[in-house]
Structure 1
Amino acid sequence: MTKKTSRVQPADAPVQGAPRRRLRVTALAAVFSLFALYVAWHEAHGPTARHNDELPITQARADDASQSADTAANAAATPTAVAGSELVKRGEYLARAGDCVACHTADKTRPFAGGLPINTPFGTIVTPNITPDPDTGIGKWSDADFLRAMHEGIGKSGERLYPAFPYAEYTKVTDQDVLAIRAYLNTLTPIHYAPPSNTLKFPFNLRWLMVFWNLFNFDEGRFVPDPKQSAEWNRGAYLVVGLAHCEECHTPRNFMQGLKTSSRFSGAVQAGWHAYNITPDKNSGVGNWSDDELAAYLSTGVSTGVSTGAAPGRANAAGPMAEVVTDSTQYLTHEDVGSIVTYLRSVPPINGGESRPRDQWGNPAVDDVTAMRGTTINSVNGAQLFIANCATCHNWTGQGVGASAAGAYPSLIHNSAVGASDANNLAMVILHGVSRTTKQADVLMPAFGTQLTDDQVAAITNYVTKQFGNPQSTVTVDQVAKLRAQQ
């Protein structure tokens, strides 16, 4: 049996382990410092933190002008039920500003129950049910679940949401406004309806891949008012880049289908419809529109150009924009509409190459009707088809009927859809018609897609652009066929 021995150092001998112990202590101190910094950061920026930019900011929220300062002061002293009703009322206003009903309603008898198919280059995404139904809707979602979906694009079960849901913009909405929307949705009638599943191609059906999409296309964080700008500008920015998510349609997309931030608001094509350039450029955008005309368009879907002395025409909302006006912007207060206009005036103008504004093209037809009298037409003729199908409402001269009245049949001359550099929207209007209901008028143009063939639609479109609009804008029969197939 051996005995272990140890060598005892003299008391005054140098301790060989001291440098190593000092190194360990230094390392532990560095790790602790980093951990403390992380805790401090998490407290300031974590999901439960309350940022300064999440505090009530009247200069940057979609304020309901009907709620006066007196009403707000009284709300603090009212019973909980009354305060709750005010929250729901505000949530309804904000849900309209965000146009939630547009994407989450496929069947108007089931509002907010989802089921709307959205076509993307990667497949079809079907919108979910957001009624308070506990089984098929969001009835079991907590407020924290709802906030996380709106701000981070993460669902109740931790699943990554697809950016067809515009969380990239909703992340800018304050906690208070998100919870007001949630309070409103809780009051809806629960609808037990499970929408169909998404049909996305591999690998885009793997939700975890959204981590990489977010890395390049998503910056989480609430809107921070710019102290150098006016309260009106800040409120407009909060709406345009946040709750109203205008860029989702009016900004082109990159190869990942994220927004191309270098071309903000310069226009893009969505489901066959061209969402036009809304920058202040005088030719390609809306730089030649007055503030009143932009406000009128958002509130009514019509801008006639009369206030600037231009000939009646200018713009009439159709397609998805008609739905935006019908479901959303017509309900915004005068102050909020004005704020949107103020902000849009401040974005950098982008020229798309147009030689003149879209609404500055065209002349009335003079002798097209008389020229065809007694003439045998054996082929598809745009002028003949226009007179047979369109002239009753728009006049054979193209000047419309009713001038600038709310329910007028619009002029095709100086009309932004007819003078655009591409004829998509004009062909889509002929194919699918127009339906726009506002406080001023119920506008309905019938769809001719079931009555006219693709070559007939192309012939009418090309006649109208040549005679009343931009003669360089044409459409082929094959293009019409593709537009016809668009949802």
Structure 2
Amino acid sequence: MKGFAAAFSIFALYLAWHAAHDREASPADELPVAAALAQGASEVGAAGASAASTPMLASAASVPNGASPSGAVSGAAAAGTAGPSGGSGQEAAAVASTDDGTADLVKRGEYLARAGDCIACHTADKSRPFAGGLPIGTPFGTLYTPNITPDPETGIGRWTDADFLRAMQQGIGKGGEHLYPAFPYAEYTRITERDVLAIRAYLNTLAPIRYTPPRNDLSFPFNQRWLMFFWNLFNFHEGRFVPDPKQSPQWNRGAYLVEGLAHCEECHTPRNFMQGLKSSDRFSGAVQAGWRAFNITPDRAGGIGNWSDEDIVRYLGTGAVPGRANAAGPMADVVADSTQYLTPEDLRSIAAYLHSVRPVVGGQTRPRDQWGSPADDVKRLRGTRVTSVDGAQLFVANCASCHNWTGQGIGASSPLAYPSLIHNSVVGAPDSDNLAMVILHGVNRHTKEADVMMPAFGNELDDDQIAAIANYVTKHFGNPKATVTADDVGKLRQRQQ
């Protein structure tokens, strides 16, 4: 044991030495904060202008008026160091220009914060947006998200830009502590410095909320943050996104969003035993809090290979593609809080990138949205005395008023339609977990197109009844091999949401 401890200590010292002496040089398109504050307005503005040719930084889809965060920082610095001008028009113009630049920077930061869906994890109580406190269940215990409002005592009001950059790109907190990877710094490390500073500028405009979230509840030894050093060795590779010159600007923009800011892998990629992402199965699907995030690779049977670019754009923009899918659970929140606000150009870029990734075959031979036919069990039930738990009777009593007793839905493809259960990706999935979760918790999706609400039946029906409905639905309208037991429903009911 002593020999092992000595060897481990030597290894740890080597890693520390290696980290200190072999740092990667900053990419050429990055502009350090210190340089931005030290240089004159013209120098930094020129640097920002030269970087604007990089598609993922200055896409008209996400950069209002071509604003550059670095340029806005330099403008503020120049205004602060300018000599007296006796109230000249030049000084007034400089101040007005700075105000315009700051407004554009904040507007851009708001868009980027939407793309990153910051509000989803950092809001537990909607009356306290961005104040944190949301519990996140992990195999090692419960984490509570921090307050990221500019409150100086309980939020990030005393953080410098350098502190914020280090947290986003390196996973290191203000006090030098390692952050837990429930905060997706493994993806945020790819975000450019300009975009990080724009997000920071937007967060600075929020109303400060004095609120201290609960302490994390992690078991030993997982409550020892220094152990994250070893997790990072195997699961974290710091570095900004580098465009692929062989690909189109649209593809690069999509890659920048999917791999970085939108952090799609966090839900759609399975994890290894250390809870890091399994890079060999990227985007092939995973389970989060009882909900399955489906395969989004271009595999035609198990993934979205039979979806068009417009299908993906419509799904991310509205949460519904008639005849294919309807967002529920965490994905409904993603649509409501994030992707519905992205420009059509950015959504098409995401679609182009997803259609280019390596397909991962999940063992399915038939697409999830190609199952089902209308049912007529209502005829069988007429005049029949039901003495046990009967899926058909429960479906007609609880579901048919919206989904029709045939399962074909009501309202066709209109924004407020009740969706068909036939050709529905949740009903045609190889397991019934998501279907059971929808019955348990309902659907609550608010978009610019429509407010969609399905009531939760978790308090109205017991586990046997929910299992009976789910099995009836998959048997008649979906994949008949997908079954669920009352015990399965009971376990799903206990999952923290």
- What is the TM-score normalised by the length of structure 2? 0.85
The residue that corresponds to 2:347 in the other structure is 337
The residue that corresponds to 1:327 in the other structure is 337
2:401 is equivalent to residue 392 of structure 1: yes
| Structure 2 unaligned spans of 5+ | 1-16, 33-46, 76-93
2:176 is equivalent to residue 158 of structure 1: yes
2:160 is equivalent to residue 142 of structure 1: yes
Secondary structure in structure 2 of the residue aligned to 1:119 = strand
What pairs up with 1:66-81 in 2 under 5 angstroms?
A: 79-81=97-99
Secondary structure in structure 2 of the residue aligned to 1:475 = coil
The residue that corresponds to 2:44 in the other structure is none
Could you tell me which amino acid in structure 2 is paired with residue 116 of structure 1?
L
What pairs up with 1:442-461 in 2 under 5 angstroms?
A: 442-461=451-470
Quote the Cα distance in structure 2 between the aligned partners of 1:177 and 1:68.
12
Could you tell me which amino acid in structure 2 is paired with residue 297 of structure 1?
Y
Quote the Cα distance in structure 2 between the aligned partners of 1:57 and 1:406.
38
The residue that corresponds to 1:483 in the other structure is 492
Structure 1's consecutive aligned runs of 4 or more residues displaced over 2 angstroms after TM superposition are 41-46, 48-58, 61-72, 74-78
Residues 149-191 of structure 1, C-alpha deviation per residue, up to 9 Å, x if partnerless?
0000000000100000000000000000000000000000000
Could you tell me which amino acid in structure 1 is paired with residue 25 of structure 2?
A
2:353 is equivalent to residue 357 of structure 1: no
**Distance change (3 Å), C-alpha of 1:59 and 1:406:** same
**Distance change (3 Å), C-alpha of 1:207 and 1:111:** same
Secondary structure in structure 1 of the residue aligned to 2:136 = strand
Quote the Cα distance in structure 1 between the aligned partners of 2:472 and 2:152.
54
What pairs up with 1:219-298 in 2 under 5 angstroms?
A: 219-298=237-316
Could you tell me which amino acid in structure 1 is paired with residue 355 of structure 2?
R
Query: What is the deviation of 1:374?
Result: 1.4
- Say whether the 8 Å CA contact 1:362–1:414 is kept in structure 2: yes
Query: What is the deviation of 1:202?
Result: 0.6
| Structure 1 unaligned spans of 5+ | 1-34, 305-312
Quote the Cα distance in structure 1 between the aligned partners of 2:295 and 2:270.
10
1:470 corresponds, among 460, 468, 479, to 479
The residue that corresponds to 1:410 in the other structure is 419
Secondary structure in structure 1 of the residue aligned to 2:411 = coil
Secondary structure in structure 1 of the residue aligned to 2:156 = coil
- Say whether the 8 Å CA contact 2:190–2:240 is kept in structure 1: yes
Secondary structure in structure 2 of the residue aligned to 1:79 = helix
Could you tell me which amino acid in structure 2 is paired with residue 339 of structure 1?
S
Quote the Cα distance in structure 2 between the aligned partners of 1:57 and 1:419.
44
**Distance change (3 Å), C-alpha of 1:70 and 1:419:** closer
- Say whether the 8 Å CA contact 1:64–1:333 is kept in structure 2: no
Residues 403-451 of structure 1, C-alpha deviation per residue, up to 9 Å, x if partnerless?
0011100000000000000111100000000011111100000100000
The residue that corresponds to 1:59 in the other structure is 55
The residue that corresponds to 2:148 in the other structure is 130
Quote the Cα distance in structure 2 between the aligned partners of 1:68 and 1:445.
37
Secondary structure in structure 2 of the residue aligned to 1:124 = strand
Could you tell me which amino acid in structure 2 is paired with residue 89 of structure 1?
K
**Distance change (3 Å), C-alpha of 1:68 and 1:198:** closer
2:120 is equivalent to residue 102 of structure 1: yes
2:180 is equivalent to residue 199 of structure 1: no
Residues 93-151 of structure 1, C-alpha deviation per residue, up to 9 Å, x if partnerless?
00000000000000001000000000000000100000000000000000000000000
**Distance change (3 Å), C-alpha of 1:57 and 1:258:** farther
Query: What is the deviation of 1:68?
Result: 6.6
Quote the Cα distance in structure 1 between the aligned partners of 2:302 and 2:405.
29
Identity among equivalent pairs (%): 70
Quote the Cα distance in structure 1 between the aligned partners of 2:378 and 2:62.
53
Quote the Cα distance in structure 2 between the aligned partners of 1:62 and 1:369.
58
- Say whether the 8 Å CA contact 1:99–1:244 is kept in structure 2: yes
2:430 is equivalent to residue 421 of structure 1: yes
Quote the Cα distance in structure 1 between the aligned partners of 2:66 and 2:109.
20
Query: What is the deviation of 1:67?
Result: 5.6
- Say whether the 8 Å CA contact 1:131–1:185 is kept in structure 2: yes
Could you tell me which amino acid in structure 2 is paired with residue 423 of structure 1?
S
The structure with more radius of gyration: 1
Query: What is the deviation of 1:44?
Result: 3.0
Quote the Cα distance in structure 2 between the aligned partners of 1:432 and 1:170.
31
**Distance change (3 Å), C-alpha of 1:222 and 1:71:** closer
**Distance change (3 Å), C-alpha of 1:70 and 1:96:** closer
- Say whether the 8 Å CA contact 1:62–1:94 is kept in structure 2: no
Query: What is the deviation of 1:58?
Result: 3.8
Query: What is the deviation of 1:79?
Result: 1.9
2:385 is equivalent to residue 376 of structure 1: yes
Q: Report how many residues are paired.
A: 440
Quote the Cα distance in structure 2 between the aligned partners of 1:80 and 1:97.
25
- What is the TM-score normalised by the length of structure 1? 0.87
- Say whether the 8 Å CA contact 2:270–2:277 is kept in structure 1: yes
